[in-house]
Amino acid sequence: MCSVRITSNNRIPQITQSLQELGGLGVEVGIFGSDDSFYAMIAGVHEFGITIRKETGSIVIPERSFLRSTFDENNNKWVNFMKKQIPKLLEGQISAHALCELLGTRMVADIQKKITTLNTPPNAASTISAKGSSNPLIDTGGLRMRVTYRVVSI
């Protein structure tokens, strides 16, 4: 005698839930003021530049974008990364939150790389002499260390 067992492999509810979860999440990357307001200020100065006016003259710190420029340079790469991960999400191999964590980690690494390799505009000779390095965005490494991400509900 033969018996037949019918099972349902309908994953549509799980797939729908995973996609809804992913659609409700975002990744914020940067140096957050709540973490360290001094480094958030330093990041803003370098990202946009500033002129500090003093009685004896002014000091110009030029724009050295490391956040916006990294986004512009890597956005397509990040989108492609997400596209390649979607099948894993749909198959239940990874959660939406974990996928956003992976993206955040990649974004942080790319920004840190940009901080390390950015060399224009160069530091003034007096700055190079004072800090002993010509890398415009690295003095102690504190700025680079504080780049982080967070997964947020949107």
- Three-state SS sequence of 3-70: CCCCCCCCCHHHHHHHHHHHHCEEEEEECCCCCCHHHHHHHHHHHHCEEEEECCEEEEECCCCCCHHH
Q: Say which range, 16-25, 26-35, 47-56, 91-100, has the weakest mean pLDDT.
A: 26-35
Q: Tell me the domain boundaries of the chain.
A: 12-153
pLDDT of residue 33: 84
**pLDDT tops 80 at residue 115:** yes
**pLDDT tops 80 at residue 145:** yes
pLDDT of residue 34: 75
**pLDDT tops 80 at residue 5:** no
Instruction: Quote the pTM value.
Output: 0.87
Task: Classify residue 41 as left (phi > 0), alpha (psi -120 to 50) or beta.
Answer: alpha
CA 118 to CA 136: how far, in whole Å?
Answer: 7
